[in-house]
Structure 1
Amino acid sequence: MKMRRLGKTGLWVSEIGLGCWQLGGDFGPIEDTEASTILANAARLGVNFWDTADVYGNGLSEHRIGTFYGKPEDLVVATKVGRSSALYPDKYTKGGIKDSLEESARRLLVDTIDLAQLHCVPRDVLEAGEIFSWMDELQAEGLVKNWGASVETIEEAEICLEQDGLSTLQIIFNVFRQDAADGLLEKAKQRDVGIIVRLPLASGLLSGKYTRETEFSPTDHRSYNRDGQAFSVGETFGGIPFETGVDLADQLRGFVPEGQRMSLFALRWILDHDAVSTIITGVSNPEQIGVNAEASDLPELSSEVHAQLAEFYRGKVRPHIRGEV
């Protein structure tokens, strides 16, 4: 597993990270033994960046990470704060954020959190700016080593990048959501802010495994948030209507080298952007993390392929994205 520097944190993290939303059971029940096997496989493969949040399973994901035996010495755990009912959408205070982070630290069994990320807090809160000062203060107090932000749109990312204390920025970025490549990534590099990519496979569309008839568990956001009923529509299938996304994925197959998994092709496309520090990939079974990790060893795509994919995005994909990007 190749490693990259995580911006001004100075930490070195695996190019392929582990998204731990599933460990909270929010995509369907997951037993402790299976959760432990997923974490063990990640550790064995050198996947040392694990991303979670206080709201994943109401703390269950953090608890499972905290109590897992066999964590690698260089493990970096990133959690998030700001989407619990105690804070979201308009009850943000420094005390409330501190309480939430202290609870996360207790579940993770640490004194200081490696990386605490603001979790898609409303834009008006970001624009007010006070929340950034609170994070600076909590870092100075020693509750967090570094802080960053997970955002839903380019405009929100731009607001966060103006903050000197920001170490990382988590964004939606994939073959079906390429807008960050138009300037945001370069700005992050200039400010030494590590880019963490989420939804790298557009909620699975870029695995190429779905058909129009594919169904998901009622507890899976790919069912209940398909059209933005619960939170930002962009968080599910990148904002693309599911059936349209399946059709676009079928068209994308023409760009994928013969014999290569579409998912690995999509992950390699992201890694070819040197501003990216790590990609958080969710897994539905213990073996999948090993498949995802293979992307780190693939050769870079050619400039010609990148140009073709950019044209494909602008002409075929971008017009179908709903909501802000």
Structure 2
Amino acid sequence: MQTNVLGKTFRSVSGVGLGTWQLGADWGNVSESDALAVLAASAEAGVTFFDTADVYGDGRSEQVIGKFLRDHTAGTTVTVATKMGRRMEQVPENYVLSNFRAWTDRSRKNLGVDTLDLVQLHCPPTAVVTSDEVYDALDTLVAEGAIANYGLSVETCDQALAAIARPNVATIQIILNAFRLKPLDAVLPAAKAAGVGIIARVPLASGLLAGKYTPATAFAANDHRNFNRDGSAFDVGETFSGVDYTVGLEAAGKFAELASTVEGTTAQAALAWVSQLDGVSSVIPGARSTEQARANAAAGSLPELGAAFNAGVSEIYDSLLRADIHPRW
């Protein structure tokens, strides 16, 4: 498994990590035993970075990770990144030290740790991203020992660039996949220059880049791929990366053809492409089964995809997606 330094945390983490939104059972049912099995399979396959949030299953994801860590203390070194800021309305006046303390105390209890490895503000409004007081409060949490490092999970490249300019921001989490290329323009170079780690989320465009969906594919009622296609619940860019589903299927078909020219499955090629980008610390696909967890982790060991593959990704994006996607995020 490829490993990288996670920005200003200076921790070594696996190039392919594990996103755990789905383990909170927010979109489709996942039992605790299945969730623990996914965590174990990932760790056994070399994954050393788990990403969660305090709102995933109202804390269930954090709690399951905490149980896993307690039961696997020997020989398992995992960095856990959590997120905060969506337990209340996302308005600037709620991003204050007292709330930060309450939210991080809850996450510390859920995870069973005294100090959180990394806490990220969870897609806050731009006014929060640019607030001096917010960073002062986060610095206070570090000084108090509640958190070791902090970063931001953002929706737009402009937000990412504003956060990267702050001296103590350790990481930026942003949507980055073969259907969302804008972060390559300025965000990755700026982060690398500042020593900020990039955590790439939604790397499979909500599954589109696995190449298995069709126009007839049905999603559960509580699955965001069903209820958030129009952005009615949260930023539409989080679902299928903001790509229209029909257009996405066409693009996914072309990506599958491209992936057939390299080693691994279509999904593994999509993950490897992100993890091999210069400046990406870890890519965090989700997994709902042990088989999927192992397959995702294996993408971190694939050979370099090469210039021809990269050109193919750009061609798909430019011909089908750029006009609708690039100006928005």
TM-score after normalising by structure 1: 0.96
- Equivalent of 2:267 in 242, 263, 267: 263
What displacement does 1:129 show? 3.1
CA contact (8 A) 1:174 1:202 kept: yes
- In structure 2, the residue matched to 1:190 is 193
CA distance in structure 1 between the partners assigned to 2:268 and 2:143 by the alignment: 40
CA contact (8 A) 1:234 1:323 kept: no
CA distance in structure 1 between the partners assigned to 2:155 and 2:287 by the alignment: 21
Indicate the SS of the match to 2:231. coil
The percentage of aligned residue pairs carrying the same residue is 42
| Counterpart AA for 1:262 | T
Moved >6 Å (runs of 4+): none
- In structure 1, the residue matched to 2:49 is 49
Q: Structure 1 stretches of 5 or more lacking a match? A: none
Tell which deviates more after alignment, 308-317 or 136-145: 308-317
1:96-148 superposed Cα distances (whole Å, 9 cap, x missing partner):
01110111001100000000001001112222332111111111111100111
Q: How does 1:205-284 map to 2 (within 5 A)?
A: 205-258=208-261, 260-284=264-288
Q: How does 1:27-176 map to 2 (within 5 A)?
A: 27-68=27-68, 69-71=71-73, 72-85=75-88, 88-90=90-92, 91-176=94-179
CA distance in structure 2 between the partners assigned to 1:73 and 1:302 by the alignment: 33
Indicate the SS of the match to 1:16. coil
CA contact (8 A) 2:205 2:240 kept: yes
CA contact (8 A) 2:119 2:151 kept: yes
What displacement does 1:274 show? 2.0
What displacement does 1:161 show? 0.7
CA distance in structure 1 between the partners assigned to 2:276 and 2:43 by the alignment: 24
Indicate the SS of the match to 2:59. helix
1:67-93 superposed Cα distances (whole Å, 9 cap, x missing partner):
1212553210100011112x5234221
What displacement does 1:57 show? 0.5
- In structure 2, the residue matched to 1:300 is 304
What displacement does 1:273 show? 1.0
What displacement does 1:42 show? 1.3
CA contact (8 A) 1:233 1:323 kept: no
CA contact (8 A) 1:206 1:249 kept: yes
CA contact (8 A) 1:120 1:152 kept: yes
CA distance in structure 1 between the partners assigned to 2:49 and 2:187 by the alignment: 23
Tell which deviates more after alignment, 289-298 or 248-257: 248-257
- In structure 2, the residue matched to 1:290 is 294
CA distance in structure 2 between the partners assigned to 1:238 and 1:244 by the alignment: 12
What displacement does 1:322 show? 8.5
Q: Is 1:321 matched with 2:325? A: yes
What displacement does 1:252 show? 1.9
Tell which deviates more after alignment, 258-267 or 17-26: 258-267
For these two proteins, the number of residue pairs brought into alignment is 324
| Counterpart AA for 1:269 | W
TM-score after normalising by structure 2: 0.95
What displacement does 1:257 show? 2.8
What displacement does 1:256 show? 1.6
Aligned-CA RMSD value:
1.5
What displacement does 1:312 show? 2.3
- In structure 1, the residue matched to 2:314 is 310
- In structure 1, the residue matched to 2:18 is 18
Q: Structure 2 stretches of 5 or more lacking a match? A: none
Tell which deviates more after alignment, 40-49 or 66-75: 66-75
